[in-house]
Amino acid sequence: MNKEHKKVRIGIMGGLICNENMGCVALTYSLMKMLEMIAHENNYEFSYTIFEYEYQKEKYIQLAKFLSIDVSRIDFAPIGFCYTECWKLIVKKAPMNIRMLRRIHSCDLVIDITQGDSFTDIYGRDRFLRLTVIKEIVVKMGIPLILGPQTYGPFLDEIVKMRAKGIIEKASNVISRDYESKEYIASFCNKTVKVTTDLAFGLPFDKVNRKNNKSILVGINPSGLLVSQKTEGTNLQTSLKVNYDEYIQRLIQILSQNSQYEIHLIPHVGDDAVKLFKDYPNVVCHEAFSTPVDAKNCIATMDVFIGSRMHATIGAFSAGVATIPVAYSRKFSGLYNNIGYPYVVDLTELTTQDALDKTLKLVEQYDCLQNKVSTCLKEVMEKHDTLKEILRDTLSEVVR
């Protein structure tokens, strides 16, 4: 006779489903895939409450299909508006806030991944507060809070740093995806931090055989966050040394003039500024993707991938593609140094010409990069397995 499943309600915060950012959605897909594996192995039955900004029924159906579970096990809850700087909005959104509070109270534990890189104020203080107050509510309700693998900091404002410290100290478990974050937390907090790697490395994909073996397929992911005509409203507080538009334009121009390369412009957040660079000859432009698996399936067909979105590069790397991460913050170096992969083009340190020269040199050496990716992936998957063990052990403490 089969034992009865132990039923657990897990809240997921900072992991999105109904969003055009395929990186944030990939984190949710990967986390829930891992949780379902843990459930299957330990006779649990998890149901989930996803705290995010909007609800789209078809997106929840897509996720349930991906997980092979009934969509009724995935519930939506609004994030709400609870930070004190906007008290008028708190009053106006009272029904939404009440619904959020009830959903939090119904959870047995909460896992928060803060969209992978948003536990910081480099995207503005307002964004930090919206994503932090909800964590504070979890702690005040006495519900176990796991801070899942993510980047921590930097915190430019000391008040923000103290707010973050309070959450980190009260969390049941703190997991980082890089050692830089662990060391940064140690500079202002005594909390034990476990280091694994990014959840999205474990996102499944369909590996397809190349149809064209004559050309070297080069995928370029231009970021709508970095171009002068921004396609998203995120307020980035870090500065670049490069002229990003010029960097991408010259990169496409030089590579597209070489007959051995076939250039593909691949978005990862909506259209991701792809349309700004579509008029170059011999360039294939891809449309926005519906799911992170669709995005990864496309990226996996490339020989080399140059990405300004970190999770686009993670999709390439974990698919075994020669990967050139183009960094705008320390989250890139932290993640890739953590897995022994040094081929990062840092836009905050290099001039436009130096960044271009380095990128083109790495493209020429894509065979070497591909071999390094294969070697590093072994360590990545070991770290990924460690993450699964940490989550399993933490859940076993909650599920009695």
**What are the tens digits of pLDDT across the range 22-59?**
999 999 999 999 999 999 999 999 999 999 989 999 99
Q: Could you tell me the pLDDT band of residue 3, with boundaries at 50, 70 and 90?
A: low
Tell me the whole-structure pTM to 2 decimals.
0.92
- Residue 84's pLDDT band (cuts 50, 70, 90): low
User: Could you give the CA distance from residue 355 to residue 349 in angstroms, rounded to a whole number?
Assistant: 9
Q: What is the mean pLDDT of residues 81-86?
A: 72
Residue 170: its H or E element? helix 158-170
Give residue 58's pLDDT. Answer: 96
CATH 3.90.940 for domain 6-195: no
In the prediction, which pLDDT does 371 show? 96
Percentage of the chain modeled with pLDDT above 70 = 96
At residue 308 the predicted structure's pLDDT band, cuts being 50, 70 and 90, is very high
Are 363 and 304 in contact, with CB atoms under 8 Å apart? Answer: yes
Tokens coding 107: 């959870």
Q: Which residue has the higher pLDDT, 397 or 247?
A: 247
pLDDT at residue 400, as a whole number = 66
Listed in sequence order, the DSSP H helices in the chain are 22-42, 57-67, 87-92, 94-105, 125-140, 158-170, 179-186, 244-256, 292-299, 310-318, 330-338, 352-364, 366-398
From the list 114, 172, 177, 113, the residue with the least C-alpha distance to 145 is: 172
pLDDT digit string (tens) for 122-170? Answer: 888 888 988 999 999 999 999 999 999 999 999 999 999 999 999 999 9
Using the 8-state DSSP alphabet, how is residue 79 labeled?
-
Q: Is the pLDDT of residue 2 over 60?
A: no
Residue 143 vs residues 6, 11, 74, 108, 116: alpha-carbon distances, Å: 18, 10, 19, 7, 21
- What pLDDT, on a 0 to 100 scale, did the predictor assign at position 1? 38
Q: Considering only CA atoms, which of 131, 116, 121, 123 is closest in space to residue 155?
A: 121
* Mean pLDDT, residues 96-116: 95
Tally of CB atoms within 10 A around 229: 9
Q: How confident is the model at residue 89 (pLDDT cuts 50, 70, 90)?
A: confident
* pLDDT tops 90 at residue 211: no
pLDDT grade for 397, boundaries at 50, 70 and 90: confident
**6-195 and 216-378: same fold?**
yes
Domain residue extents for the chain:
6-195, 216-378
Q: What is the pLDDT of residue 175?
A: 95
Question: Which tokens hold the place of 47?
Answer: 């149901």
What pLDDT, on the 0 to 100 scale, is given for residue 210? 60
**Residue position matching structure tokens 């890089």:** 178
First to last CA, the chain: 21
For 350-369, write each residue's pLDDT tens digit.
Answer: 999 999 999 999 999 999 99
What topology is assigned to 216-378 in CATH?
Answer: Rossmann fold (3.40.50)
Q: What is the mean pLDDT of residues 163-185?
A: 95
- Is the pLDDT assigned to residue 261 strictly greater than 60? yes
pLDDT given at position 34: 97
- What is the residue-averaged pLDDT of the chain? 92
Q: Which pair of structure tokens corresponds to residue 181? A: 């974050």
